[in-house]
Amino acid sequence: MVVHLTSAPRHSGPYDWEVSLPQGTAGLPAASIAKCAEVYTFHKDHLSELVGTLPLDFVHRIDRALAIALALRVPAEPN
């Protein structure tokens, strides 16, 4: 499963289910927004190579935003 990434500027927000990713994070060519309310199924066979890896602090932000979007128990902030 994947979340939608966009580099399009926001017209409203920010929202609790979005995570801002600065340019260069995980190799992104432009500042982007992970829209965790937009979750899609993506078959692994469509992946060809590793493009980038999110730093752990962004993984925690994504986890939290997904929990909010999916109405799950929101994880505690990491220390």
Least confident of 12-16, 20-24, 37-41: 12-16
Helix, coil or strand: residue 29 = coil
Mean pLDDT of 24-50: 92
Helix, coil or strand: residue 12 = coil
Q: According to the model, what pLDDT value does residue 47 have?
A: 85
Q: Classify domain 2-69 at the CATH class level.
A: mainly beta
What residues does each domain of the chain span?
2-69
Phi, psi of 37, deg, nearest 5: -85, -5
78 pLDDT exceeds 80? no
Q: According to the model, what pLDDT value does residue 50 have?
A: 84
Grade residue 68 by pLDDT with cuts at 50, 70 and 90: very high
Q: Rounded CA gap, 37 and 69, in Å?
A: 5
What single string gives the DSSP state of each residue in 50-62? ------HHHHHHH
Q: According to the model, what pLDDT value does residue 46 have?
A: 87
